[in-house]
């Protein structure tokens, strides 16, 4: 979840960030799959409540992406992007 939030917060500054994060998440997936199938070890287990909470928190990604873009465009160019303002409104309404 933390990887997704940071990816979308800084995606306006680092365009290759989402690709790098996707590759990292794929690596995590295959490492966990290997551990479960061949080593039969699970380091930790999470509850269903935590899983549901994480899925519900994914809704914040729309807002965080827009806030990151708005922050970076204001920092670098001194103006606000209308696209980011529209996304913030959509994120707040959603």
Question: What burial class does residue 71 get, using C-beta atoms within 10 Å of its C-beta: 0-12 exposed, 13-18 middle, 19+ buried?
Answer: middle
pTM: predicted TM-score of the whole model, two decimal places: 0.53
Helix (H, G, I), strand (E, B) or coil at 12: coil
How far apart CA 6 and CA 94 sit, in angstroms, is 20
Distances (CA, A) of 19 to 25, 27, 46, 81: 10, 12, 27, 23
> For every one of its 94 residues, what pLDDT tens digit does the chain have, with 9 covering 90 and above?
777 777 777 776 777 878 888 888 899 889 888 888 887 766 677 778 887 888 888 877 778 778 888 888 888 888 887 888 888 888 888 7
């Amino acid at each position: 979840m933390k990887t997704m939030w940071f990816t979308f917060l800084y995606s306006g500054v680092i365009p290759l960030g989402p690709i790098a994060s996707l590759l990292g998440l794929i690596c995590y997936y295959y490492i966990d799959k290997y551990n479960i199938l061949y080593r039969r070890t699970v380091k930790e287990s999470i509850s269903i409540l935590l899983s549901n909470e994480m899925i519900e928190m994914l809704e914040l990604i729309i807002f965080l992406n827009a806030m990151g873009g708005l922050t970076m465009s204001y920092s670098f160019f001194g103006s606000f992007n209308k696209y980011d303002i529209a996304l913030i409104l959509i994120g707040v309404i959603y």
